[in-house]
Amino acid sequence: MSDTQNQNNRSQLKSAISSEVMIDLNKVNKWYGDFHVLKDIDLIVHKGERIVVCGPSGSGKSTLIRCINHLEEHQEGTIVVDGITLDKNLKNIDHIRTEVGMVFQSFNLFPHLSILENLTLGPVWVRKKPKAEAVETAMMYLERVKIPEQADKFPGQLSGGQQQRVAIARSLCMNPKIMLFDEPTSALDPEMIKEVLDVMVELAETGMTMIVVTHEMGFAKTIADRVIFMDEGDIVEENEPNAFFDNPQHERTKLFLSQIL
Amino acid sequence: MAIVTISTSNSRPPPINEATLIGWMRMHLFSSPLNSILTILTTYIIYLTVSGVWVWGVVDAIWIADTRRECFDINISGACWAGVSAWMENIFYGRYPREEIWRIDFGLFLLFLWMAPLWMPRVRGKVIIGMTTVFLYPFLAGYLFSGGDKGIFMSVMVSAAIVGIIANTLNATLGVLADRSLSNFVNNKLGFGNAPEEKQQKVFLIFLAVCFVLAYIWQSGWQAEIVSWTKWGGLFLTLVISGIGIASALPGGIILAMGRRSKLPVIRVLSTAFIELFRSVPLITVLFMATTMFPLFMPEGVVLNKLVQVIIAVCLFNACYMAETVRAGLQAIPKGQAEGAHTIGLGYWGTMGLIVMPQALKHMIPNIVGSFMGLLKDTTLVSIIGLFDILGMLRSISRDTPWLGLHKEPLVFGAMLFFIICFAMSKYSRHLEAKLSTGHKV
Ligand SMILES: Nc1ncnc2c1ncn2[C@@H]1O[C@H](COP(=O)(O)OP(=O)(O)OP(=O)(O)O)[C@@H](O)[C@H]1O
Ligand SMILES: [Mg+2]
């Protein structure tokens, strides 16, 4: 497929949103000490839906998506993921984490394990799959992120873009229902950003439910079903991408967009 | 048209200064008049010391004599190594009965046999080998050294250790020769070669259980002669105490460090209190407490021997120091590592055991080996509370009638022994570090 065709296809990327609710945040509040990071957050994400979150630094974007797989604990409100309510029950938390993949700005690959071991660790130890099957799946995902030849190297020997693609593959090996991305391209050089975004677009095409914190607005326009703008712990504005970018309603959104576009 | 360089540029040796000996000396030793004077002066002092030691310890030394008197008669200014060599067996084995010494050598050989597979390529299950070295071997060796009635517990542990050493050796042989594990081999022989992994594991466990029963029956047929701990001594005793200390310090330290970082207040406070208590008291005090106060807390009738008390004290003391080393290592691992592990569904133990701890331990190798060396040297303190470890033995030479007053030579010999052991440990730690640095491994 040529590049232009590809581009066309992407702008038409339609998602098959079902009515099934994957994530349901209801009046979620969180404080760091006295600092109110998340204020009455309400958010419903359906199966297959792709959401882009943006907003100024410190507005609570990371905190929000980290609450969804309980890397951070919220203090008030309810979070329901895939029908399971997040509470103090460790079993629930562990279960939800196997269903929710997450990709970080800083990759967080395991430097003491080879790429292949990074990918098979979860399936073997958590999903209890036989080693051979896990290796097969891992290789399949490495092909999909286009670096099968790096399987036996260590993370420290890969470029940033390659590491981030490994991180995506590592999450996918767990066969998650939801993928969370926290500024996956912010630590990368421009030419690497594209290779990572390409992988993410392909992932979106498979119908994965995704929440992506990013400032890559072109990417947001291509894949997002909804764009959410956060500021000071609030969801200030929420709209489908074209309307969001062309016709922002809120003053703060306008200011933010004028700064980054 | 592009310009293409046909010939490659020749590589040149580095500038002459640093590369040759003369150049190096000129740069580092004789760069200015003052430096030249210092260099010559230092060289002279080194010459005086080394030649003095050389003449005393080698040129004028007496190697064969029956008493210190005889040494003096031959050459009064030389070292009397004859005394050390006459006591050699005592220095190594203490007062262990001479006809039973083979048991110590055999125990050492077993340790070697047990651990050698760890360094062999292609051998499977190295983690299990390492764990059994710490948790099974000590019982086998302990019984081998002390002998006597086994009792149920010792019988079980000795049988398990026998199965362990045999399985380990077979596994290593199969690994090196045929690149397969013992489990795989057994399963193939029994016809379960194509069974799923879990089934194979079960079959192998049953196989081990059968071996265990056989070993149990076999070991109940014999008994080693009892050797009281009071006869243990010399380098052997030093190695027993420090060996157990080393083997238990790391697991103990890991548990305590994890306790100190725990989210549960009770565990955290207890671990912290325990660690701080032991760290704030000198080892010699802990040793005295262990031998004099410990028995007071014991129920009536329980008689602990002094050696056991000392070993417990050494273990606890070193576990506490190790705990702080481990904690420092854990703190150096970025939070993102644990978060990465959580996102693929690993719980606390999986995250610790597979992700955080291996990385932390790798960073800590120099510190850990440093503590081990400290532990080995500190063990000589037990000679103060009346155990005849290597230092105790070396010092009693001077009280032996034929060698009355022979202080210097035994201590020099002891220093050399310690140097050799510690230097080897240090070298090995460097090697291990280089081997485990995955950042550059291809
Ligand atoms: N562990 C913490 N303790 C205290 N305050 C914190 C902590 N983590 C984050 N914060 C604060 O919470 C606020 C929101 O942080 P968050 O990381 O969610 O912002 P963000 O929107 O992701 O910003 P960025 O775009 O810079 O990543 C920030 O003001 C930050 O200083
Ligand atoms: Mg952030």
| CB-CB neighbours of B170 under 10 Å | 14
pLDDT in tens, A31-59: 999 999 999 999 999 999 999 999 999 99
Residue B191 CA, distance from chain mean position: 41
pLDDT in tens, A112-161: 999 999 999 999 999 999 889 999 999 999 999 999 999 999 999 999 99
**pLDDT score recorded for residue B229:** 87
Tokens found for residue A102: 């997450």
Q: Give the mean model confidence (pLDDT) for residues B177-186.
A: 86
Q: Which of B70-84, B316-330, B421-435 holds the top average pLDDT? A: B316-330
**pLDDT score recorded for residue B293:** 79
pLDDT of residue B58 exceeding 80, the answer is yes
Q: Give the mean model confidence (pLDDT) for residues B129-145.
A: 91
Q: Give the mean model confidence (pLDDT) for residues A234-253.
A: 91
**pLDDT score recorded for residue B6:** 63
Chain B residues in contact with A98 by the CB 8 A cut-off are 344-345
**pLDDT score recorded for residue B14:** 64
SS (H, E, C) A4-73: HHHHHHHHCCCCCCCCCEEEEEEEEEEEECCEEEEEEEEEEEECCCEEEEECCCCCCHHHHHHHHCCCCC
Q: Say whether B196 and A130 touch across the interface (CB within 8 A).
A: yes
| A246 and A54 Cβ atoms separated by less than 8 Å | no
**pLDDT score recorded for residue B440:** 44
pLDDT in tens, B221-238: 888 888 988 889 999 999
Give the integer Cα–Cα distance in Å for A231 and A227.
13
What is the phi/psi pair of residue B67, to 5°? -140, 170
Judged on CB neighbours under 10 Å (0-12, 13-18, 19+), B174 is: buried
pLDDT of residue B156 exceeding 60, the answer is yes
Q: Write down how long chain B is.
A: 442
The pLDDT-based confidence of A9 (bands split at 50, 70, 90) is very low
Segments in B95-221 forming alpha helices (H): 101-115, 126-135, 137-146, 151-178, 182-190, 197-219
Distance A13 CA to ligand 2 centre (A): 27
ipTM of this complex? 0.90
Residue A58 corresponds to which amino acid?
Answer: G
Q: Residues A230, A235, A239, A240: what is their CA dihedral angle, to the nearest 10 degrees?
A: 60
Q: Say whether A98 and B340 touch across the interface (CB within 8 A).
A: no
Integer angstrom CA distances of residue A223 from A14, A79, B100, B107, B420: 8, 25, 79, 68, 66
Q: Give the mean model confidence (pLDDT) for residues B42-49.
A: 94
Pick from A29, A30, A36, A37 the residue to mutate for probing ligand 1's pocket: most ligand atoms within 8 Å of its CB: A37
CA distance A118 to chain B (A): 10
List the A76-81 sheet strands across, edge first. Answer: A35-46, A21-32, A76-81, A84-85
Query: B194, B197, B333, B343: best mutation site toward chain A, by most A Cβ within 10 Å?
Result: B343
Residues A98-121, buried b or exposed e (16+ Cβ, 10 A)? bbbbbbbbbbbbbbbbbbbbbbbb
| B354 and B341 Cβ atoms separated by less than 8 Å | yes
Q: Say whether A108 and B197 touch across the interface (CB within 8 A).
A: no
Q: Give the mean model confidence (pLDDT) for residues B402-424.
A: 92
Q: Which residues pair with B94 in a beta bridge?
A: B232
The pLDDT-based confidence of B303 (bands split at 50, 70, 90) is low
| Residues flanking ligand 1, CB < 6 Å | A 32, 35, 37, 55, 57-63
Most distant CA pair in chain B, distance: 100
Q: Give the mean model confidence (pLDDT) for residues B390-408.
A: 90
Closest residue (by CA) to atom 1 of ligand 1?
Answer: A32
Counting from 1 in the atom list of ligand 1, the atom nearest the Cα of A230 is: 21
Residue B326 corresponds to which amino acid?
Answer: V
The pLDDT-based confidence of B127 (bands split at 50, 70, 90) is confident
| A142 and A133 Cβ atoms separated by less than 8 Å | no
